Amino acid sequence: MNDGNIIKMVSQSQILNKKELDENINFVLSVAHRLVPDSKDIKKLRTLPVSKNLAFTDGWTWISLPDWASDIVPKNKKGLFVPSQIDSPDWRNYNWWLGASMLIKSSAERKHEIENGPIHSNSYKLDAKMMPSFDYAWTNRIILFLRRWWSYDNNILEKKAFSPIPKAIIHLTHDVDAVSKTLAIRSKQAIFSLYNGRVKAAVKFLFSYGNYWQFEKITNLEEGYGYRSLWNFYGARGGFFRSLKEHIFDPAYNIGECRLKKQIRKLAVKGHKIGLHPSFDAWQDCNKMILEKENIEKSLGQKITAVRQHWLRFSFSHTWKSQKAAGLKHDFTLGFNDRFGFRNSTAFSFNDPLSGIKVTPLLLMDSHLFDYSNKNKQERYQAIDAILDELQITGGEGSVIWHQRVFHSDYGWGDTYEYLLKGMRKRKITTPENV
């Protein structure tokens, strides 16, 4: 099924032929392969009498599950939160395959982008009614429900009928926005501090010295837990002779500097991965991405394929196509600047059907807990636990960002990152390198 059809179905009923219906099912099953990895698992789910209702609306709804599947519903919630169908159907009349496909493809947000332009990962620009869709990995829970449904109908314990829920996977990532304390960084962080009512912190940050060369500190910490991470570097020009916009929004370092060349090669030798962190305006410009990618490859001495857009600047219509044209293969941008959670209601990596780019959703970054909210220490830990618990329960996969500069005492956010690592180990959540 083409993407245009998915978009249209958000707002109106559409007759699909058998091939298109099958494509929806195939797509969902390919994305959810972690929960249905075996061909026998897939065959079982295909036999379920899932409704073929196509009468979707622009809205959202809660669908209650039967008692034998009540544990799949998050605590204190009245059901699964999904794109609504006409007549507010119960679980027997809901097209779970099409609903899941629409969630994975972010159909509601794509429609918003067509009508209003890209939100560039700022959730506040979206309809408040869809906010609950970002709280849980609803797609994962749909697949868990379908597994349970087949087991119930066939009077077989789910653990005997299907493959076990796999260990969750987290891609630990670091976007390198600054290796020294620039004026842009001073200004940005001071503004966030003022936004959160921390006047003294803003003044202190503006006028203090900071050494943001924190690479060894972070790698030693991660390696102590048996983890490796992805480091995304800026590949455009740095230095003084740049436009005002570049000075404000882009990193200031030059990836060709000897010290940085040695550092990224050291990271690679130790088993960490290197990716691209494109410039602010590169989100729809494959030529800029190509040049920036080549600059990093020259310094590293090998090809790179991973990417996350700077400031999470992103468009469904342009970004993945531009990344693909630039020779990139794996994107980690799909998340929000201003809130943590599940942007496409999904905790699975998947291949975008139009570009072929592999996408791993972004679930959490340091600034969610410190800059875009005024949470205390306990509340930050609770937010981390919520993400980790959801991944563990649903056998999910996603990524987190912790910028390397925030390990400096200017920020003091390193302890919270270690809490994340401890939580991963406690829940036996692994990294892709250890799968």
Q: Output the tens digit of pLDDT for each of the chain's 435 residues.
A: 344 444 343 443 455 677 888 899 999 999 999 999 999 999 999 999 999 888 888 899 999 999 999 999 999 999 999 999 887 679 999 999 999 999 999 999 999 999 999 999 999 999 999 999 999 999 999 999 999 999 999 999 999 999 999 999 999 999 999 999 887 888 888 888 787 788 887 787 787 778 899 999 999 999 999 999 999 999 998 888 899 999 899 999 999 999 999 999 999 999 999 999 999 999 999 999 999 999 999 999 999 999 999 999 999 999 999 999 999 999 999 999 999 999 999 999 999 999 999 999 999 999 999 999 989 999 999 999 999 999 999 999 999 999 999 999 999 999 999 999 999 999 999 999 765
Q: Are the beta carbons of 362 and 312 closer than 8 angstroms? A: yes
Domains in the chain: boundaries: 3-161, 169-434
Cα separation, 125 vs 120, in Å, equals 9
Q: Are the beta carbons of 384 and 351 closer than 8 angstroms? A: no
Buried b vs exposed e over 43-67: b needs ≥16 C-beta within 10 Å?
A: ebbbeeebbebbebbeebbebebee
Query: For the whole prediction, is pTM greater than 0.75?
Result: yes
What SS3 string covers 35-89? CCCCHHHHHHHHCCCCCCCCCEEEEEEEECCCHHHHHHCCCCCCCEEEEEECCCC
Token pair in block for residue 299: 């310094």
Helices (H), strands (E): how many in the chain?
Answer: 17, 11
Query: What CATH number does the domain located at 169-434 have?
Result: 3.20.20.370
